Chains A and B, each alone.
Chain A
Amino acid sequence: MHELAIAESIVQIAGRHANGRRVAKVQLKVGHLRQVVPSALAFSFELVAQGTPVEGAELEMEEVPATGSCRGCGAESRLKAFPLQCGTCGGFDLQVLEGEELFVESLEMEEV
């Protein structure tokens, strides 16, 4: 389950930027193609955050839809599931433009 390792990284990143402050919210962007299971990540995050400045913080996940551009016909389309297929010509040779993101966008911290 890669969600646990991903949660560990998120907590480390948030803890480093928090610099002693309490973290109230972590906003995460997750590409559709990353195969992250939101409930598993939320559970892991809660577990890993215990005893750190991130404990109790809300993890807000925003999914980035997958899009790709077709190397055959040049059209751009939204990619919903595998196989990744051009919505215009049906081709399979696509360059993925979005949907592979996995980053912490912002943190909300409490200043005392």
Chain B
Amino acid sequence: MHRTAVKQVIMEGVLDANDALAQANRAQFDAAGTYVVNLMSSPGAGKTALLERTLERIHGKLRLGVLEGDVQTTLDADRLSRFHVPLVQVNTDPGFGGECHLDANMVRSGISELPLNDVDVLVIENVGNLVCPAEFKVGEDTRVMVYSITEGEEKPLKYPLMFRSADLVLVNKVDLLEHLDFDLEQFLGYLDAVNPGVERILASARTGQGVDEWCSWLEKRGAPS
């Protein structure tokens, strides 16, 4: 049997398929007038706690909806269910042993369960992970990252992909500053080194510091025009 090797130049972006789906999601969000925040962080940085404080304060000012992404369990969604806002849980478990991020298709599967016309701002709480979520657009208008000071100053340098892609960094757990050897100035220097001048809010989900500022940030973007 004679075999001939044929070379074909295709120049196809590896994430093109995901990007196209993300655009379709975005079109659907835009049509409904919903502003979408892709909320990312490492595990345990405080995304869900911050969302709890946010939902407590923003009630009556902004109609918030939440899409929760987790590899397994509905624990986060359970924590937020007491606020009675539109909420959908997407588990990434059916993927290859549990994907470590949300992609556009997973978000797409959750959208149909949300009453988008009644949601001014949809917060997509991504899977806790500092690498993979940064690669996958899901149809968001903006990317917000929660970073907690217990993670160490050098994280922006170690995970530049994520820190570079953020439009706003919520620096969480600042109530612990006095108990830790954490150098805030050094961290902010590293942050500026990978994402010069990126917006940042010093916050504590525990004491409520910075939560008003974060809520105003959301209101400015998500208020129905």
Contacts and interface: CB of A to CB of B under 8 A. Distances in A.
Nearest to A48: B96
Given A35-B131, A105-B9, A111-B4, A82 B14 contact: no
A10 interface: yes
Contact of A106 (B1, B10, B14, B196): B10
Interface in B1-27: 1-15, 17-18
A9 B6 CA distance: 22
Contact of B14 (A4, A33, A104, A107): A104
Given A34-B161, A107-B7, A102 B14 contact: yes
B77 interface: no
B136 interface: yes
A13 interface: yes
Chain A, interface size category, equals 35 or more
Given A1-B100, A35-B161, A109 B9 contact: no
A32 B88 CA distance: 37
Nearest to A105: B11
Nearest to A14: B10
A60 B85 CA distance: 48
A112 B96 contact: no
A83 B194 contact: yes
A17 B7 CA distance: 11
Which DSSP category, helix, strand, loop or mixed, fits chain B's interface? mixed
B101 interface: yes
Interface string B156-171: 1100110000000000
A106 B4 contact: no
Contacts of A13: 10, 12, 14, 17
Contacts of A110: 3-6
A9 B18 contact: yes
Interface string B55-90: 000000000000000000000000000000000000
Contact of B135 (A2, A8, A85, A106): A2
B5 A108 contact: yes
A5 B12 contact: no
Nearest to B2: A112
A6 interface: yes
Contact of A103 (B12, B136, B190): B12
A17 B132 contact: no
Contacts of B223: none
A49 interface: no
A25 to B, nearest CB: 8
Contacts of B131: 1-2, 35
Nearest to A28: B14
A104 B14 CA distance: 6
B192 interface: yes
Interface of B: 1-15, 17-18, 96, 99-101, 103, 131-132, 135-136, 156-157, 160-161, 190, 192-194, 196
Given A13-B10, A104-B12, A108-B5, 12 more contacts: A1-B100, A6-B135, A34-B135, A82-B157, A92-B193, A102-B14, A103-B13, A107-B8, A108-B8, A109-B8, A111-B3, A112-B3
